[in-house]
């Protein structure tokens, strides 16, 4: 049963040939495009802005999963939606008004998710777990692609799965950071519903085949 989703991270794509990589994902068994937005403040790096997301949307045949690593993310929800975002996740650590932000996204008609950094406790989600569509767990520290997977992430996935079951929530669990063919099966078995894969897809000799193998666990 291959019910888990694969969301290749365009942060690892070839920016000089972005349309080519978008088309590769269109043709593959991937389910979503994962797009990391960084502001150089919340994380020490800067990435995609609205014009790039609009370009991706023009060619993409699958939903855009936009991960905001920015401070005060609620300022830009509407503009990200207008740029083509289908799913928006924002960081627990970057939002003072979690509940309000979740509902601001829902009012825009897009799927709403909250992201937790590796050190942030799952218990902090208890009050919103029934309001979100998904929770994105960072299994590396956010800001750069190609980092080593943090082993404690399995415990966090299991804790989150327990919370979802206990609260009778429909939230999906997304995992981002250091996902490879060697740990993907264990991640899904532990409770992950969506795997974000960057370097392991785009640096492989055959990205389409790698996506297929991640999907066929």
Query: Annotated catalytic sites, by residue?
Result: 36, 176
d(CA 26, CA 30): 7
Tokens representing residue 7 in the block = 């969301």
SS (H, E, C) the chain: CCCCEEEEEHHHCCHHHHHHHHHHHHHCCCCCEEEEEEECCCCCCECCCHHHHHHHHHHCCCCEEEEEECCCHHHHHHHHHHHCCCEEEEEHHHCCCHHHHHHHHHHCCCEEEEEECCCCCHHHHCCCCCCCCEEEEECCCCCCCCCCCCCCHHHHHHHHHHHHHHCCCCCEEEEECCCCCCCHHHHHHHCCCEEEECHHHHCCCCHHHHHHHHHCC
Give the position of tokens 């800067």.
Answer: 46
């Amino acid at each position: 049963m291959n019910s888990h989703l694969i969301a290749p991270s365009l942060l690892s794509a070839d920016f000089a040939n972005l349309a080519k990589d978008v088309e590769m994902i269109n043709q593959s068994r991937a389910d979503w495009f994962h797009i990391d937005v960084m502001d150089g403040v919340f994380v020490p790096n800067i990435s995609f802005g609205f014009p790039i997301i609009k370009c991706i949307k023009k060619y993409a045949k699958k939903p855009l999963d936009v991960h905001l690593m920015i401070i005060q993310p609620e300022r830009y929800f509407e503009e990200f939606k207008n740029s083509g975002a289908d799913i928006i996740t924002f960081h627990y650590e970057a939002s003072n008004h979690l509940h309000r932000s979740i509902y601001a996204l829902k009012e825009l008609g897009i799927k709403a998710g909250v992201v937790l950094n590796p050190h942030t406790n799952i218990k902090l989600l208890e009050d919103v777990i029934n309001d979100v569509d998904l929770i994105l767990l960072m299994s590396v520290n956010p800001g750069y692609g190609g980092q080593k997977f943090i082993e404690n992430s399995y415990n966090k996935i299991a804790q989150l799965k327990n919370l979802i079951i206990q609260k009778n929530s429909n939230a999906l669990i997304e995992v981002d950071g250091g996902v490879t063919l060697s740990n993907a099966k264990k991640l899904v078995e532990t409770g992950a519903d969506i795997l974000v894969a960057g370097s392991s897809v785009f640096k492989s000799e055959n990205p389409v085949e790698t996506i297929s193998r991640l999907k066929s666990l």
